[in-house]
Structure 1
Amino acid sequence: MPIKAIGSQRCIIDSRETAATLLYSTDSGKIIEIYNELVPSVDDPRLKLFDVEDFEDVTPKVILPGLVDSHVHLNEPGRTDWEGFATGTRAASSGGVTTVVDMPLNAIPPTINVANFNTKLKAAEGQLWCDVGFWGGLVPGNLKDLIPLVKAGVRGFKGFLMDSGVPEFPPIDKCYIENAMSELSNSKAMVMFHAELDTGSQETSHDNHHQETDSCQYDSFLASRPDRFEFDAISLIIDCLKKSMAANSGKGPSVHIVHLASMEAIPLMRQAHKDGLPITAETCFHYLSLAAEKIGKGATFCKCCPPIRNEKNRLALWEGLRDGSITSVVSDHSPCTPELKQLEKGDFMSAWGGISSVGLGLPLLHTVGSTLNPSVSLMEIVKWCCENTAEQVGLQHRKGHLRIGYDADFVIFDPNAKQRVTNPTVYFKNKLTAYNGQELIGIVQRTILRGLTIFDVSHGGPSKSPLGKPILEPREH
């Protein structure tokens, strides 16, 4: 059994930065031993004991656990011109992501029953550069498909309370939510929501801003999806969760709010945690790094739903993240073809909403986090992007940590090197992102998945062959 060792004076292990040496098997793909110091050489007796054939000291670079991006739209099959398994997972590997979890849309067919899931798995064969898990969908009429999908290996389910943007994935209502929570109350599967809801209240944009608007101005789009949409949606979800728990002797499914963007919703999450409800929330790289005031006319590559809000809101999201009201950070990589972004027209109201960023998250958070006081530590980033996302998807027993018996998923990160993001050099299929031209501090030098290198800057980037696997084990955590 070939054993290798890697070490650094800077490793992120169990919420602290420490010197360490990690031994791992390229056969089993597991970490088999960790020494809490950097061994001097391959001739160290402790390495000899395991017949270590290769030892590498990467100091002063940092060894982190592989990132788990639990919100990625790979869109294959059906909309593979938007993204695909090969391009999307290669892009993920370039940013130290060793596991992504694919959303049930915008592929055609969506992952709303076992037959559709099998179609997706067939399309994924031989195309995975990192490990890939899968979410199922909550849509009207598929309640009886949920448990079969859990048994087939999906990690949980996502639904919309408003139009999803694609006709094959319609929104659900309160009655469906309550029934789905009941259906899944004895399951480990997570129930997740795109939490925007237009109740038609007088406070929505249709009534409180001028009739004549310029759809090329970002403020027009922002006014069309106000904070109230998120507040009302999360309020409804919390009410449904309380009702479900009351009806099931205090038991209820774990609930998760995807891409929380409004600071107005943070007090709801804080109170829900005080009430002991099993609910978590994520935010995204773009909500933490971009602000409405800086989005120019016609810059539709910055359109996403919920929308990017103002600078005060951006800073409040960081506060919510640091106090635990928000638990994780993901990409919500939601690409499309450049034509659907309507760059020439610059119309925010009709352009596709989604920001491509898979693989950019680690340097983005490291860069933007350095501007805060106190600055964001790598331990915090690991908590939000490795540990908590692994727990969200039920993989905390093998992903998200550097621990003996866990998958040998590592990131070799140079926190001081600089890079400039440019559209032509990103790895995802459609070369368009909101970060074009931005200088970032920190570069992923290498990504190792289950002991095998899937990305190496010094060897041209992604590995020549796909080394990822689908994650289909029934969820037990």
Structure 2
Amino acid sequence: MELGSTVSAVRSKRVLVGEEVRPAVVLIKDGKIHQILSEEDFSGDVSCEVLDVGDSVVMPGIVDCHVHVNEPGRTSWEGFWTATRAAAAGGVTTIVDMPLNSIPPTTTLGNFREKLREATGKCFVDTAFWGGVIPGNQLELQPMIQAGVAGFKCFLIHSGVEEFPHVTDCDLHTAMKQLQRTGSVLLFHAERDVEQTIEENSDPSQYSTFLQSRPDVMEIEAIRTVTELCLQYQVRCHIVHLSSAKPLKLIQEARQAGAPLTVETTHHYLSLCAENIPAEATQFKCCPPIRGSINQEQLWSALKAGQIDMVVSDHSPCTPDLKKLDSGDFTQAWGGISSLQFGLPLFWSSASKRGFQLSDVVRLLSRKTAQLCSLDGQKGSLAPGYDADLVIWDPEREFEIKEASIHHKNKLTPYLGVTLQGVVCTTIVRGRLVYREGSFCPEPLGKHLLIP
């Protein structure tokens, strides 16, 4: 079966149907899942060419709803062509692009249209788009919703780029009034500047110096603000990349009080910890920071208990010079981690040792992420009527991350040389074979997902 061709049936001894893994044949028609049949019920229709994948696992493709593609404007950092190939190689069938780090940012209807033009003809997987809330753009929000953005993101602290300023409390109240009764969602980078004392003459090449500059209290105070707004306005709110387990109590209390609030964490907070970060290893820098191992175990417990809703990559690449590798200065380096291609094996390598099942992987990496951006009617589930977006992978097989196999534009990642469990073999998007064993379909087959 050639790359790019249409698949009409996939057979495996291990298909994830609901919560259960069993032998089945997935029938595909017009890019959608038509039926899921047991081996006995599948008569082997002669007109139907079957992709038999043996005992590889077949499950819904990953929906990564937190990806910085950075095009237009910072395409040297990443771009739709490279990002979506990396996604396909990692079994990710849908990405949602963040509104910042591209120039212009997705903060007006005009900028959103420019983003769509730039992304056309470059996406190997399906792509949706977040808009942004910045000071003064409140009248752009409803037009962007009508044009199909998945929702909006804002920062409560400096975003790292001048063209995406952070919002004040006043801006937030204004935006919330615009979003009421739209069904849209507001995503928060939940850190707030707080008074703190930093030791003089701290060594900027030590990770502990950077960690000390972004304490848990910054997340706690920001999340306090978010929970109050969410309860007051009853607008769907979502906390991106939670790194500290300490604010979880606030989140739980707000939900119990009726706040429509969700929260994600990332692969790096679940698989990396502060104690193991070497001096000058600025490829580990991100905001909020990677915290200690005790905190990490608390995040895993919260995930298991359902207090954290989903896991995403927060793929935030840059050019190598911005990571300040020559000086190893954590205070000056760009904060962001590249991991879009490796989310599934990163998660599974740790989760499988903690008693998580394949059905948990789908819930946390596909179904809940699709739900966040209102794509849960077509993405993130293996069921009739859903898009035939499939990842076919081997959860037992191990591989080492080598530079040659990385498809992101810039290869710098803290995972270089790491051995992971779970090899992605094949990725199918809407019934089309887009990736298999290291090769891609000759042309991009992904489409733009505009949210009705």
The normalised TM-score by structure 1 is 0.92
Q: Report matched runs for 1:79-98 at 5 Å.
A: 79-98=74-93
Q: Which amino acid aligns with 2:440?
A: P
> CA–CA distance in 2 between the matches of 1:159 and 1:62?
37
Aligned to 2:3: none
Q: Is the 8 A contact 1:21 1:39 kept in 2?
A: no
Q: Report matched runs for 1:199-348 at 5 Å.
A: 199-200=194-195, 204=196, 207=197, 209-244=198-233, 252-348=234-330
Q: Which runs of 5+ in 2 are unaligned?
A: 1-5
Write the deviation string for residues 46-66 of structure 1: whole angstroms up to 9, x where unpaired. Answer: x43xx6421133231100101
> CA–CA distance in 2 between the matches of 1:149 and 1:230?
29
> CA–CA distance in 1 between the matches of 2:18 and 2:133?
35
Aligned to 1:32: 34
Q: Is the 8 A contact 2:68 2:314 kept in 1?
A: yes
Shift of 1:105: 0.6
- Of residues 76-85 and 259-268 in structure 1, the stretch that sits farther from structure 2 once superposed is 259-268
Q: Which amino acid aligns with 1:307?
A: P
Q: Which amino acid aligns with 2:23?
A: A
Shift of 1:234: 0.4
> CA–CA distance in 1 between the matches of 2:51 and 2:73?
43
Match of 1:17 among 21, 46, 49: 21
Write the deviation string for residues 158-210 of structure 1: whole angstroms up to 9, x where unpaired. Answer: 0000000000000001121122112111112111100000132xxx3xx1x42
Residues 455 and 275 of structure 1: is their aligned pair in 2 closer, same or farther, counting only changes over 3 Å?
same
SS at match of 2:110: helix
Shift of 1:21: 1.3
> CA–CA distance in 1 between the matches of 2:275 and 2:402?
22
Write the deviation string for residues 110-154 of structure 1: whole angstroms up to 9, x where unpaired. Answer: 000010011111111110000000000010000000000000110
Aligned to 1:147: 142
Residues 67 and 73 of structure 1: is their aligned pair in 2 closer, same or farther, counting only changes over 3 Å?
same
Q: Is the 8 A contact 2:312 2:365 kept in 1?
A: yes
> CA–CA distance in 2 between the matches of 1:311 and 1:59?
38
Q: Is the 8 A contact 1:13 1:401 kept in 2?
A: no
Identity, in percent, stands at: 45
Shift of 1:8: 1.7
Match of 1:353 among 335, 339, 344: 335
Write the deviation string for residues 417-437 of structure 1: whole angstroms up to 9, x where unpaired. Answer: 111012332100001111010
Aligned to 1:467: 445
Residues 1:453 and 2:442 are matched in the alignment: no
Q: Is the 8 A contact 2:7 2:51 kept in 1?
A: no
> CA–CA distance in 2 between the matches of 1:121 and 1:169?
19
Q: Is the 8 A contact 2:7 2:431 kept in 1?
A: no
Shift of 1:473: 3.6
> CA–CA distance in 1 between the matches of 2:19 and 2:371?
15
Aligned to 1:362: 344
> CA–CA distance in 2 between the matches of 1:391 and 1:298?
39
Q: Report matched runs for 1:356-435 at 5 Å.
A: 356-372=338-354, 375-435=355-415
Q: Which amino acid aligns with 1:351?
A: A
Residues 296 and 33 of structure 1: is their aligned pair in 2 closer, same or farther, counting only changes over 3 Å?
same
> CA–CA distance in 2 between the matches of 1:333 and 1:345?
24
SS at match of 2:247: helix
Q: Is the 8 A contact 1:3 1:53 kept in 2?
A: no
> CA–CA distance in 1 between the matches of 2:294 and 2:154?
29
> CA–CA distance in 1 between the matches of 2:203 and 2:19?
48
Shift of 1:416: 1.4
Q: Is the 8 A contact 2:374 2:451 kept in 1?
A: no
Aligned to 1:172: 167
Q: Which amino acid aligns with 2:296?
A: R
Aligned to 1:247: none
Write the deviation string for residues 290-335 of structure 1: whole angstroms up to 9, x where unpaired. Answer: 0000000000000000000000011111111111111000000000
Q: Which runs of 5+ in 1 are unaligned?
A: 245-251
Aligned to 1:130: 125
Shift of 1:370: 2.9
> CA–CA distance in 2 between the matches of 1:461 and 1:378?
25
Match of 1:77 among 56, 72, 77: 72
Q: Which amino acid aligns with 1:5?
A: A
Q: Which amino acid aligns with 2:26?
A: L
Shift of 1:9: 2.1
> CA–CA distance in 2 between the matches of 1:333 and 1:463?
23
> CA–CA distance in 2 between the matches of 1:38 and 1:336?
47
Shift of 1:464: 1.5
Write the deviation string for residues 225-282 of structure 1: whole angstroms up to 9, x where unpaired. Answer: 00000000000111112222xxxxxxx2211000000011111122122222100000
SS at match of 1:10: strand
SS at match of 1:370: helix
> CA–CA distance in 2 between the matches of 1:311 and 1:52?
55
